[in-house]
Amino acid sequence: MAEERGGSDGDEADSRPRHRWRFRLPPVRLPPVSLPPFVGERRLPVGGVGVLVVAALVDIGDAWVALSAGGPGRLLGSIAVLVIATLLAGRVGLLAGWEVIAVLLGAGRLTVIPSVVGVVLVRARWHGRG
């Protein structure tokens, strides 16, 4: 039977079809991607009156939470202050993290200090030097 196929047992590889199936994708071109800037690196008018008003309102709310809420409420309030300060002032806003540390150490009443206004003013001063 090997002779009927046109070869011996060692020639079985020659009896297989020689074409291969190929799968090709057309060339793909991706659109240009621009990554958004770091949250604090946006061109916000850092020294503007609107940002200071927002910062003052956040600090007033934070003081109310510090004086009226218990431990978990103070912790959530200080975390919210940290996030908002970072959004308003960029990396400098991370300085407001002292409120989280104060609440965790049991000195939550200290968070009545207006951290967000201070951080925004520091950012405006630092931004003005650059």
pLDDT tens-digit readout, 69-88 = 887 888 898 999 999 999 88
Q: Which residues contact 109 (CB under 8 A, 6 or more apart)?
A: 66, 67
Query: Does this model's pTM top 0.95?
Result: no
Query: Would you state the pLDDT for residue 44?
Result: 47
100: buried, middle or exposed (CB in 10 Å: 19+, 13-18, 0-12)? Answer: middle
**Residue pLDDT, tens place only, 31-54:** 665 545 555 455 444 457 788 888
